[in-house]
């Protein structure tokens, strides 16, 4: 039986108060296993981002528990939680959020620098990871000089540099054309995913569903295991 | 340098336009603040020039005196009175007044004349040319070779002039610690000759210069002089009184303070606005750093480092520019009365630190407020 990397049980999250209250996530129970590439899909406003934030230690749920790697993350202090994210989770943001004034290698090295690793050592590691994501020779260039697909690869290199157990990608193909998007996800699937890691992708993009091991669908803040064939047909 | 600060440094330096704007703002503010306060220090220092140059421990004067320039003569008996106070080692009279000199080419020049006690020559200046005993020669005057000296047409020893139709001869050239405030040359002669050459009122002693036997005697001497209806101030107290007068009773201090405040506000406006824009442009990236695992205090450290770095660099450049400008100004304007003192530097430094703190405050608040969830939510 596959070991769970992420276990969320009965998590709820509401925003606002009184009549203006919106139940963004309702009693969601959710598991993602090691060696699995899991998609969370659903229309806008379905609660995907809220759930992703709660299971990645960014947004505290109103109730329920979230265990990552057998650690109840919401019982950690804020400093310990930040350290947990830094060492155990890699994030790829929809808009990449690369610093335009830093070089590509410096951007990639940020998690190691936050881990207080030696600067030169961190940059050397970043250059190696840029090679892994196919951006050899771009290390000293600013991210703004790269294409959208290349910037996405830089963001992936930054997410994987500390070899996290869990990788979370938020709409990784949203700003990319079809081929580039597929290439990126294919690359993540074949080069990044291992038996000791778990990848969660939030996406609207049905063109990349074929790379998923499992797809979880969210609607109105509730999660249902989706019918893969149905989704692929959409 | 810790890696996180190195990132902060690179983010700052590589945004050249904003970095330049920040530096210009702070440098300009520092330059103006130091220039203003230096001018004020120069004026204050010159306003007490006579007190500094004579160097007496205690000055006895009329209580109505506000500055060393507007003297009210003391009656002659006060000299004996003060000499009789227990604890007084010696007391000598000093004359200080203005006179109009007729120079050898027929032009007139106002000058400050200091008449030193004939017996002791207490408070005599350091001679750079001539011999001090020549001051006892007939019609003898010693000219101070300072920034106003050229107004006497750069006289040499033996050159003559007229003072109230008396013949005067330069017998020496002297050096003093500080030039006067009013831009006129200074001459030293004996007390009696100054009375003889310059028309006087009934009382003739401008100040009594007193040396106590021990520092402990100062209080008793001051008390005894006060009992006689006069005022005895130590060297430092007299300078403080003059400083106080120019600072609070002439408008100079207020104007300088307003100008310094305006410089501060200009610096704060430019750097505050630029720094705020800088933080706003990077706010999502700071949020992303938080999501990745940066702690709030690390982000605050980054912002404080950036603000401090800009502030200190701007401070250094501002001090350098101001020093250079004062040096240049003195080359062409010998009267230029600006002095950079440790106090000026400290005031400017404190204000720059304040600019850095206030500029970064808004940025720090923004960064502390940004939630990583906002980054995901877009």
- CA distance linking residue B212 with residue B85, whole number of Å: 10
- The pLDDT score that the predictor gives to residue A30 is 84
pLDDT digits (tens, 9 = 90+) for B115-134: 999 999 999 999 999 999 99
Contact B298 A91 (CB under 8 A): no
Q: Which residues of chain A have pLDDT under 70?
A: 1-2, 225-234
- CA distance linking residue B339 with residue B159, whole number of Å: 33
- The pLDDT score that the predictor gives to residue A233 is 47
Contact A111 B292 (CB under 8 A): yes
The share of chain B scoring above pLDDT 70, in percent, equals: 99
Residue B295 has its nearest CB partner, among A56, A79, A97, at A79
Nearest CA in chain A to B375: A93
Position B254 confidence tier, pLDDT thresholds 50, 70, 90: confident
Q: Does B317 touch chain A (CB under 8 A)?
A: no
Average of per-residue pLDDT across B201-220: 92
Contact A114 B289 (CB under 8 A): yes
Q: Does B10 touch chain A (CB under 8 A)?
A: yes
The number of beta carbons lying within 10 Å of the beta carbon of residue A177 is: 11
Residue B3 has its nearest CB partner, among A82, A84, A116, at A116
Contact A86 B293 (CB under 8 A): yes
Write down all domains in chain A, each with its CATH number in brackets: 4-11+35-233 (3.40.50.300)
ipTM associated with this complex: 0.86
Q: CA-CA distances (angstroms) from residue A215 to A75, A150, A175, A193, B103?
A: 28, 26, 21, 16, 105
Position B162 confidence tier, pLDDT thresholds 50, 70, 90: very high
Contact B294 A82 (CB under 8 A): yes
Specify which residues B353 forms β-bridges with. none
Phi, psi of B247 (to 5 degrees): -75, -45
Residue B293 has its nearest CB partner, among A53, A85, A122, at A85
| Enclosing H/E stretch for B116 | strand B108-116
Average pLDDT, chain B: 90
Average of per-residue pLDDT across B76-92: 93
Specify which residues A165 forms β-bridges with. none
Range from A140-154, A169-183, B208-222, B259-273 carrying the lowest mean pLDDT: A169-183
Residue A58 has its nearest CB partner, among B11, B289, B373, at B373
Average of per-residue pLDDT across B191-214: 91
Q: Measure in Å the smallest separation between the Cα of B177 and chain A Cα atoms.
A: 54
- The pLDDT score that the predictor gives to residue A168 is 92
Q: Measure in Å the smallest separation between the Cα of A103 and chain B Cα atoms.
A: 10
Q: Angle of helix A148-160 relative to helix A178-187, nearest 10 degrees?
A: 20
From chain A, pick out residues whose CB is under 8 angstroms from the CB of B15: 101
The number of beta carbons lying within 10 Å of the beta carbon of residue B105 is: 6
* Helices (H), ranges, A115-211: 119-132, 148-160, 178-187
Q: Does B293 touch chain A (CB under 8 A)?
A: yes
- The pLDDT score that the predictor gives to residue B89 is 95
Q: Does B77 touch chain A (CB under 8 A)?
A: no
From chain A, pick out residues whose CB is under 8 angstroms from the CB of B300: none
Q: Does B375 touch chain A (CB under 8 A)?
A: yes
Nearest CA in chain A to B15: A101
From chain B, pick out residues whose CB is under 8 angstroms from the CB of A161: none
Nearest CA in chain A to B288: A97
Contact A114 B290 (CB under 8 A): no
Contact B372 A102 (CB under 8 A): no
Enter the tokens of residue A117.
């690793």
- A·B CB contacts under 8 A: 87
Residue A99 has its nearest CB partner, among B285, B287, B378, at B285
Residue A113 has its nearest CB partner, among B3, B15, B295, at B3
- The pLDDT score that the predictor gives to residue B118 is 93
What is the SS3 assignment for A174?
coil
The number of beta carbons lying within 10 Å of the beta carbon of residue A204 is: 13
- Select the residue from B292, B296, B305 to test the A interface by mutation, using most A Cβ atoms within 10 A: B292
Residue A58 has its nearest CB partner, among B14, B15, B291, at B291
Contact B15 A101 (CB under 8 A): yes
- CA distance linking residue B204 with residue B186, whole number of Å: 19
Enter the tokens of residue A144.
């703004």
From chain B, pick out residues whose CB is under 8 angstroms from the CB of A164: none
pLDDT digits (tens, 9 = 90+) for B22-36: 899 899 889 989 998
The number of beta carbons lying within 10 Å of the beta carbon of residue B353 is: 15
Q: Are B118 and B125 in contact (CB under 8 A)?
A: no
- Identify the burial level of A1 via C-beta atoms within 10 angstroms of its C-beta, where 0-12 means exposed, 13-18 middle and 19 or more buried: exposed
Please report the beta strands in B176-274, taking only residues with DSSP state E, as ranges in sequence order: 186-190, 207-212, 231-234
- Select the residue from A107, A110, A121, A170 to test the B interface by mutation, using most B Cβ atoms within 10 A: A110
From chain B, pick out residues whose CB is under 8 angstroms from the CB of A122: 3
Q: Are B268 and B324 in contact (CB under 8 A)?
A: no
- CA distance linking residue B78 with residue B61, whole number of Å: 10
| Chain centroid to CA A163 | 13
Q: Does B266 touch chain A (CB under 8 A)?
A: no
- Select the residue from A114, A164, A168, A169 to test the B interface by mutation, using most B Cβ atoms within 10 A: A114
Structure-model confidence comparison of residues B224 and B332, the more confident one = B224
Q: Measure in Å the smallest separation between the Cα of A1 and chain B Cα atoms.
A: 31
Give the pairing type, strands B160-163 and B207-212: unpaired
């Amino acid at each position: 039986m596959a070991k769970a990397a992420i276990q969320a049980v009965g998590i709820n999250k509401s925003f606002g108060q009184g009549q203006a209250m919106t139940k963004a996530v309702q009693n969601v129970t959710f598991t993602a296993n090691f060696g699995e590439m899991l998609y969370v899909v659903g229309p806008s406003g379905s609660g995907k981002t809220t759930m992703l934030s709660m299971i990645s230690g960014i947004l505290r749920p109103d109730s329920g528990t979230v265990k990552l790697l057998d650690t109840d993350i919401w019982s950690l202090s804020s400093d310990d939680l930040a350290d947990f994210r830094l060492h155990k989770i890699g994030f790829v943001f929809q808009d990449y959020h690369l610093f335009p004034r830093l070089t590509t290698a410096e951007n990639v090295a940020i998690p190691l620098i936050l881990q207080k690793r030696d600067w030169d050592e961190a940059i050397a590691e970043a250059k190696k990871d840029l090679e892994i994501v196919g951006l050899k020779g771009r290390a000293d260039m600013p991210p703004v000089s790269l294409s959208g697909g290349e910037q996405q690869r830089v963001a992936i290199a930054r997410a994987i540099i500390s070899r996290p157990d869990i990788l979370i990608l938020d709409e990784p193909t949203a700003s990319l054309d079809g081929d580039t998007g597929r290439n990126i996800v294919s690359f993540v699937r074949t080069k990044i995913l291992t038996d000791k890691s778990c990848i969660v992708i939030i996406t609207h993009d049905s063109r990349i569903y074929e790379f998923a091991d499992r797809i979880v669908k969210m609607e109105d803040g509730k999660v249902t295991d989706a019918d893969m064939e149905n989704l692929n047909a959409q | 340098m810790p890696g996180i600060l190195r990132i902060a440094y690179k983010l700052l330096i590589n945004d050249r336009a904003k970095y330049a704007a920040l530096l210009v703002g702070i440098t300009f503010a520092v330059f103006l603040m130091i220039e203003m306060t230096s001018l004020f220090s120069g004026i204050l220092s010159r306003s007490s020039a006579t007190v500094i140059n004579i160097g007496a421990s205690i000055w006895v004067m009329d209580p109505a005196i506000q500055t060393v320039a507007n003297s009210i003569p003391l009656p002659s008996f006060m000299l004996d009175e003060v000499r009789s106070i227990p604890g007084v080692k010696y007391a000598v009279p000093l004359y200080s007044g203005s006179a109009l000199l007729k120079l050898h080419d027929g032009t007139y020049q106002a000058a400050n004349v200091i008449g030193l006690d004939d017996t002791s020559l207490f408070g005599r200046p350091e001679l750079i040319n001539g011999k001090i005993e020549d001051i006892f020669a007939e019609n003898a005057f010693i000219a101070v070779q300072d920034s106003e000296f050229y107004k006497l047409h750069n006289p040499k020893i033996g050159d003559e002039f007229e003072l109230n139709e008396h013949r005067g001869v330069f017998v020496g050239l002297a050096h003093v610690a500080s030039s006067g405030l009013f831009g006129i040359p200074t001459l030293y002669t004996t007390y009696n000759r100054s009375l003889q050459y310059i028309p006087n009122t009934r009382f003739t002693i401008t100040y009594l210069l007193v040396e106590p036997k021990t520092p402990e005697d100062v209080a008793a001497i001051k008390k005894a002089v006060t009992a006689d209806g006069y005022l005895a101030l130590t060297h430092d107290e007299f300078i403080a009184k003059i400083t106080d007068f120019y600072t609070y009773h002439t408008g100079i201090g207020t104007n300088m303070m307003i100008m310094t405040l305006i410089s501060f506000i200009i610096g704060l406006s430019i750097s505050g606005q630029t720094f705020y824009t800088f933080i706003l442009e990077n706010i999502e990236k700071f949020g992303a750093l938080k999501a990745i695992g940066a702690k709030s205090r690390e982000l605050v450290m980054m912002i404080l480092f950036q603000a401090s770095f800009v502030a200190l660099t701007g401070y250094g450049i501002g001090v350098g520019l101001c020093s250079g400008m004062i040096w240049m100004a003195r080359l062409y304007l010998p009267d230029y009365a600006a002095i950079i003192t440790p106090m000026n530097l400290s005031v400017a430094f404190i204000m720059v630190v304040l600019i850095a703190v206030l500029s970064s405050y808004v940025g720090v608040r923004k960064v502390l407020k940004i939630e990583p969830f906002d980054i995901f939510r877009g």
